[in-house]
Amino acid sequence: MIEPQTVRIDLSTSPRGYDIIIGENILANAGTYISQRMGERRCIIVTDSNVAPLYLQRTEAVFATAAHTLLPSIVMPAGESSKSVDGLQTLLGQLFDRALDRETVLIALGGGVIGDLTGFAASIALRGLNFVQIPTTLLAQVDSSVGGKTGINSSYGKNTLGSFYQPRLVLADTSTLDSLPERQMMAGYAEVVKYGLIHDLDFFMWCDEHASQLMFGNPDIRIQAISKSCAYKAQIVAEDERESGRRALLNLGHTFGHALESVTGFSDKLFHGEAVSIGTVMAFDLSAQMGLCPTQDAQAVRNHLIRLGLPVTPPNGNYDIDELMNLMAQDKKASRGKLTLILTKGIGQAFIAKNVDPQPIRELWAHTI
């Protein structure tokens, strides 16, 4: 069995960092990992209706064995609909029904929706509860469980209500990826290759060589890919926890992608990672169109994603460019109504571009949709 890898996040804004532990079958020791760092606690597991049949009973047994007091678990409906004001209200109601106190630890067992929702609830319930991330999807293991961004969607757009609130521990069990549908694995991969596209040409080349092994279950490749992704994100978060500067680079493709998620109703019509894939291609195409990036680099990114089965154009639909532009203007990176995008000078050379002229973006949308 391959030894688990540990990535440490140390925060400049807080004396308390935390570990990301990555490996096969580490769920079996989840209760012990928590006891070692936090002592024996009252815990509430929050999961969803897809994950519960697969891992809830096993996780409850692990926590009981480690002598934690386990309050009744909460199972939310699967899908983005739970990541909403109504979903948050439902979760908070069930938490308070369990007579939680400030020593209670919330355990987010699931993908990005459950992690974001549970983390946000933890940040506001009783003015702050400890929580632990146990991500069960590739996207959550390399991105959403790490770095402390929590939140929900609203009528104003993707993740427009939320807080920066760090977990106490992240446990990424790579064996849970075996239960993922292929489409979800591919969607998660968009957040892996992103790290190479942002700052590391060598990692992009590594991904180009090993992506199929990552998708189809090579344990060592999975641990390497997740560890490398988390290590880069840990470095960025440590420098810029609240995204006032360099952390915005991690949003390569996201401004385009979030707009597409909004107009498709935050539904299974377009997964988050699929939207990021499309948005990443658009960011490279726009960069090439503006003379910033070699055309061959933009084409290489497009070809790489197509080869892996990821979408590079939006699903069929009636899109309104004005609506898409308005959604982009509401993006959290926007400043005083001016568009800020992550653009690139080539693979591994992303940068933050402020006050981007909207006209080339309109032209790109017209060409893309």
Local mean pLDDT, 10-residue blocks, the chain (369 residues): 89 81 96 93 97 97 92 96 97 96 97 98 97 97 95 91 96 96 95 96 96 89 96 92 91 96 93 97 98 98 96 94 94 71 98 95 95
How much is the pLDDT for 331? 78
Query: What integer pLDDT is reported at residue 336 of this predicted model?
Result: 61
For residue 310, what pLDDT is reported?
A: 97
Nearest to 237 by CA among 68, 28, 30, 20: 20
Bridge partners of residue 7, in order along the sequence: 20
Domain with CATH 1.20.1090.10 in the chain: 182-368
Give the span between the Cα atoms of 190 and 63, in whole angstroms. Answer: 33
Instruction: Choose among 254, 259, 249, 252: nearest CA to 365.
Output: 259
Fold annotation for 182-368: Dehydroquinate synthase-like, alpha domain (1.20.1090)
180: CB partners within 8 A, 6+ apart: 136, 137, 138, 188
Fold for 5-179, please state it.
Rossmann fold (3.40.50)
The answer for residues whose C-beta is within 8 angstroms of residue 18's C-beta and 6 or more apart is 8, 9, 37, 166, 167, 168, 169, 170
Q: Enter the pTM of the model.
A: 0.93
Instruction: Identify the CA nearest to 129 among candidates 1, 38, 15, 226.
Output: 38
Rounded Cα distance between 230 and 194, Å, is 12
Which pLDDT belongs to residue 216?
Answer: 83
Distances (CA, A) of 58 to 27, 28, 66, 77, 345: 9, 8, 13, 20, 47
CATH 3.40.50.1970 residue ranges of the chain are 5-179
pLDDT (0 to 100) of residue 338: 73
Amino acid letter, 7: V
Say if strands 69-70 and 42-48 run parallel, antiparallel, or are unpaired.
parallel
Give the pLDDT of residue 217. 81
